[in-house]
Amino acid sequence: MDTAMSQSGQVLWGSVVLSLCAIIHVGLLAVIIEPLETLGRWMRTRRRATRTAILTGVAFGMIVFSHTVQIWLWAYFLMWMGALVEFYDALYFSLVTYTTVGYGDLILPVEFRVFGAFGGITGILCFGISTAFLVSQVSSIMPSAIDQSFDSKPRSGDKDT
């Protein structure tokens, strides 16, 4: 593409890439739900700590994969639009922006800065979705673990003990 964009063009293209990333992220998380449930049923006889660690680890791995794909997608678009020439710079800028670290040692030309800011918005939104997914995953495992723990021990006020 290699042309300067107007502010409205930057907002439009930033929204397009953000939307693509959101579709990828939500899609990959949706894809892993059923395999996680199947794995959880298969591992029902395993120790609770082992089951929790494996299920959470698999979910975490998919989340990391999804974020990595999105960072590479942002790098691709930065190069395709001519905002950055070197792939390393595009990948580095995407990673630093997506994670909202924002070192500031590499900045985009003025005509691409609004577009680049959408990378940070994408990261914030997708990290939020990831957090909600992990909390949901862990809380679906933990209540049964807590219930089992309490149900197996006599309570001080119980008269049946």
Residues 55 and 142 sit within 8 Å (Cβ to Cβ):
no
pLDDT in tens, 21-55: 999 999 999 999 999 989 888 888 888 788 888 88
Instruction: Give the mean model confidence (pLDDT) for residues 112-129.
Output: 96
DSSP, collapsed to helix, strand or coil, labels residue 155 as: coil
> CATH number for the 7-145 domain, one of 3.30.70.20, 1.10.287.70, 2.60.200.30, 3.10.105.10?
1.10.287.70
Give how far Cα 40 sits from Cα of 66, 132, 142, Å. Answer: 22, 19, 12
Q: What percent of the chain has pLDDT over 70?
A: 86
CA torsion 22-28-34-40 (nearest 10°) is: -110
Residues 116 and 92 sit within 8 Å (Cβ to Cβ):
no
Q: Mean of the per-residue pLDDT values for the chain?
A: 88
Q: What is the residue extent of each domain of the chain?
A: 7-145
